[in-house]
Chains A and B, each alone.
Chain A
Amino acid sequence: GEDVEQSLFLSVREGDSSVINCTYTDSSSTYLYWYKQEPGAGLQLLTYIFSNMDMKQDQRLTVLLNKKDKHLSLRIADTQTGDSAIYFCAEYGGSQGNLIFGKGTKLSVKP
């Protein structure tokens, strides 16, 4: 079945780069997504990448996709305290149009 795995915690210092990793299982996935969830809030779409791409950059965010290994990563450059949140990786499930989410990586940014 489809499954998305993420490490649960990541701690970095302000100004450093953060790299959040994700693995997925569905080789037919066409789009992969990154969402950010701040405390008490819903999910904010950060970025997404089509599976025929290797990389996508959007300001401080860089997404890398290794389709062979089914590995997705999100790099946040110059991490700020405002980046502290839970980051969810998701793949498109397809059968009902739903997304399949990992359990989220809690990013803590220390000043």
Chain B
Amino acid sequence: GAGVSQSPSNKVTEKGKDVELRCDPISGHTALYWYRQRLGQGLEFLIYFQGNSAPDKSGLPSDRFSAERTGESVSTLTIQRTQQEDSAVYLCASSTSPGSNQPQHFGDGTRLSIL
């Protein structure tokens, strides 16, 4: 079946512009996660959505970052007034439900480069 789909796969933009990244989770997966991977680093957790519950935004790096999810489907991560330190791969994952026994399945990520 279809896996987690992310778009665009690559994004190059100028400093100061806004960008919107999209994640389409596996159908039926209620839990959705966003992570950031800087070059040569592990994954840094950003935000988590479960069903229609309001997310905890404390993991977002700054107030320039925001994320939304419509019901149990697509999520968007928006970065306003991008800075060079925002350059990274942004990975989305989904799982059937929250919980340690529910493996998270990842998309291929969006490679964001800020010039």
> Which residues on A are within 8 Å of B, measured CB to CB?
4, 29-31, 33, 35, 40-45, 48, 50, 88, 90, 92-94, 96-104
Contact = CB atoms under 8 A, between A and B. Distances in A.
Interface residues of B, number: 28
B107 to A, nearest CB: 5
The 6 A-B pairs of least Cβ separation, nearest first, read A92-B100, A101-B42, A98-B45, A97-B98, A42-B108, A43-B106
Nearest to B109: A42
B33 A103 contact: no
B50 A35 contact: no
B101 A30 contact: yes
B99 A42 contact: no
B48 interface: yes
Interface centre among A30, A42, A90, A103 (most CB of B within 10 A): A42
Contacts of A45: 103-106
B63 interface: no
B61 interface: no
A80 to B, nearest CB: 22
A48 B103 contact: yes
B79 interface: no
B108 A93 contact: no
A97 B42 contact: no
A60 to B, nearest CB: 19
Nearest to A29: B100
B43 A88 contact: yes
Nearest to B3: A42
